[in-house]
Chains A and B, each alone.
Chain A
Amino acid sequence: MSWHGIKTIAALELRQRLRTSRWPIVFGIWVLLIAGISFLSYWATNDPDLQSGSAMYDIVVFFVLGLSMLIVPSLTATSVNGDREHGVLATLQTTLLTEWDIALGKLLSAWVVALAFLATALPFLAWAWAEGGVSGGRIVLSLFVLVLVLAVVCAIGLMFSTLTARPVSSAVLTYLTMGALVFGTTIGFGLSAFLVTQQEKQQVYGIPDTWWEQHQPPAFDPADPNLTPEQLEEIQKSQRQPTRADCTTFTRTSTVAHTERIWWMLPLNPFVVVADAAPSEARKDNGLYASGFTPMRWISAGVRAARNGPSDVHDECTGYIVNEPLQGSDEGVDDPFSKALDTAPVWPYGLAFLLVAGAGATVLAGSRLKTPIRRLPNGTRIA
């Protein structure tokens, strides 16, 4: 393996790709799509009182990731078995190039093309940044993760193209793998949730059942004019709503989902990795929390909450359940995601998994390109 060898293969691949006329068209469509999405998300989220940058950024980054997961597999998924079909692989294998030169050269060229796609999306991310609400550090981190995820996607396509004889089957297998990573993990998490859901005793901080019993509507007619003062008091009491002061800690048997046992499925999803790497800050309306369309933030908070599992004391008091009479209208509503977002991130696990998978795929691809071949898979031709 040598840089010279890798460069030779990468240059060969890139030159061929540049010369086939479809690529400018694909690039054009790609830019048009991203531009369209950026304009639409700008109009949808633009608000003079709110910084719309974070919503726009989330949409554009997810769109770039989704589209490149459709395009990038096609860069490598047919590269080795396609070369075999054209009878050009063996002519390289009989030269001084090693199998690693060929595997890494093909991977590098596909990655460069994937990065070119990503680079054309940069102006639109810069626009989102200019809209405000997105920090530069966040852009750098999510782009870094995106770049690595794209390399992994390339490596998986490359692996399948060395494993199957026909380009069609390797393309299908690569797309199935992408589907498994994106949808399979989410569906798997959702479906296996019932396995970890059970009835158990739980500490609850909230309004105990005894409070509701004491505040039952009385059994007499409130319209009756002959009510005693005690009865009137009882009616008044039943019309009262609980306040935070009524919250106590008590034990209750309830349905608890132990998502901390199955959360690991979620960060395998590239979308989760990218989202969790740099979730947006909460949207602020004049410095107050305002809900808004921030999908990366939701995904990030959701996955971290799933990882944290049910807390020791289930808090029903803070937040929505108890209608706290507003003491001063300046305080606003608590950010429901801040608690989960303050816990440790999950993306390092997901990224580590994806990188290990990508490295494994590359090693497998390299070993499948090794000649002389001892065992030849069915239907594979050498030259």
Chain B
Amino acid sequence: MSIEVQGVRRAFGDVLAVEDISLTAEPGEVTALIGPNGSGKTTLLLMLATLLVPDHGQIRVDGLDPVTQPTEVRAKIGWMPDGFGTWDALTVREVLLTIAAAYRIAPDQARTRADELLHTVHLDDLADRRARVLSRGQKQRLGLARALINDPSVLLLDEPASGLDPRSRIELRDVLRGLAAEGKTVLVSSHILTELQEVADRAVIVARGRSLETQSLDAGFIATATASWRIDSLDPERLATWLEERHVPATKVGGGLTEVEVAGEENAARLLADLVGDGIRVIAFAPSQGALESAYLAATEDRR
């Protein structure tokens, strides 16, 4: 049930959308695909969704090749595109029933499945309204239901959280965790790093069409990853000199705050203890960004 991508490359004319991406997504895990705009995430997902042929490299979805066995792969995957469109004249339920028919699901079974999914994504009360009236966030939720209609074992979600309100995001997170717990492979691309950090087991960072690194997001990573910490002190000059003497990389940020890069929580705690021990009056000491955010920013730094 896993996804394996090996050295995949895809160009559109002169534009090299994906240069060299390799990744593995395991069943029972949520794998996040993160990267700047135009880094090739959507193109990669199109190739996984059996819509595009890669120029080079190999893709295996559950051991099957999407290029030579598209029908078998399609039976196993659920794909939620970025900017999901619907047939505006159809009702929400009809959209799901049409897709179910396209998957050859028997009508009565499809009806139960559609009701179930509408309940999961909280669209039951809109089931008989035209899809046209849905807001962007509601359309996203319909898109998720659409991707789940054939009970896929591999889920490919392209920016599923965009346009969702905070409650829907939390619910999406729970849905994704639930799917992973059922043993499904979930690959999700997103920009919202703080949320991914909570839902994903693993993050693949891509930039300029290349996969830069795969970061496991377990407790060990959080404890050891290099992160930025913000220090607010009543003695800013003394703090600056202190950091300079000890060669701690530091930058001044707005509001009189100082930001330092520290590898791991252990070192951060030691730094704070030393500062206080040397009589510098620290009034705030907090991570400025999540560990995933730091890893992402570090990996894509050259883009600036």
**A residues neighboring B (CB under 8 Å):** 4-5, 8, 12, 15-16, 19-20, 86-88, 90-98, 371-374, 376, 378, 382-383
- Evaluate contact between A15 and B90: CB separation under 8 angstroms: yes
Complex-state Cα separation, A262 to B83, whole angstroms: 54
- Evaluate contact between A4 and B47: CB separation under 8 angstroms: no
- Evaluate contact between B90 and A374: CB separation under 8 angstroms: no
Complex-state Cα separation, A378 to B74, whole angstroms: 26
Complex-state Cα separation, A376 to B55, whole angstroms: 12
Given contacts A16-B89, A371-B70, A382-B46, contact A94 B77 (CB under 8 A): yes
**Residue from the set B49, B50, B94, B146 with the largest chain A CB neighbour count within 10 Å:** B49
- Evaluate contact between B103 and A95: CB separation under 8 angstroms: yes
> Which residues on the A side are within 8 Å of B101 (C-beta)?
4, 8
Top 5 A-B residue pairs of the complex, sorted by shortest distance between their CB atoms: A87-B85, A95-B102, A19-B89, A383-B81, A16-B89
> Which residues on the A side are within 8 Å of B146 (C-beta)?
91
> Which residues on the A side are within 8 Å of B246 (C-beta)?
none
> Which residues on the B side are within 8 Å of A87 (C-beta)?
81, 83-85
> Which residues on the A side are within 8 Å of B51 (C-beta)?
90, 93-94, 371-373, 382-383
Q: B46-70: contact bitstring with A at CB < 8 Å (1 yes, 0 no)?
A: 1101111100000000000011001
Residue of B nearest to A92 (CB): B102
- Evaluate contact between A94 and B47: CB separation under 8 angstroms: no
- Evaluate contact between A91 and B84: CB separation under 8 angstroms: yes
**Residue from the set A95, A376, A378 with the largest chain B CB neighbour count within 10 Å:** A95
Q: Supply 18 A–B pairs (Cβ within 8 Å), ascending by A.
A: A5-B102, A12-B90, A12-B98, A15-B90, A15-B94, A86-B87, A86-B88, A87-B85, A90-B49, A91-B85, A93-B51, A94-B77, A95-B99, A371-B50, A371-B51, A373-B52, A382-B46, A383-B82
Residue of B nearest to A7 (CB): B101
A109 → chain B, closest Cβ, in Å?
A: 13
Complex-state Cα separation, A87 to B87, whole angstroms: 9
Residue of B nearest to A97 (CB): B102
B71 CB-CB contact with A under 8 Å: yes
- Evaluate contact between B53 and A91: CB separation under 8 angstroms: no
> Which residues on the A side are within 8 Å of B104 (C-beta)?
4, 96
> Which residues on the A side are within 8 Å of B12 (C-beta)?
376
- Evaluate contact between A94 and B50: CB separation under 8 angstroms: yes
Complex-state Cα separation, A90 to B50, whole angstroms: 10
B220 CB-CB contact with A under 8 Å: no
Complex-state Cα separation, A93 to B70, whole angstroms: 10
Complex-state Cα separation, A119 to B291, whole angstroms: 68
Complex-state Cα separation, A382 to B98, whole angstroms: 20
Residue of B nearest to A88 (CB): B85
> Which residues on the B side are within 8 Å of A86 (C-beta)?
85, 87-88
Complex-state Cα separation, A19 to B89, whole angstroms: 6
> Which residues on the B side are within 8 Å of A5 (C-beta)?
102
B239 → chain A, closest Cβ, in Å?
A: 52
Given A96-B102, A376-B52, list of 18 further CB < 8 A pairs?
A8-B98, A8-B101, A16-B87, A87-B83, A87-B85, A88-B85, A90-B49, A91-B81, A91-B99, A94-B50, A94-B51, A94-B77, A96-B74, A96-B75, A374-B53, A382-B51, A382-B52, A383-B83
A358 → chain B, closest Cβ, in Å?
A: 26
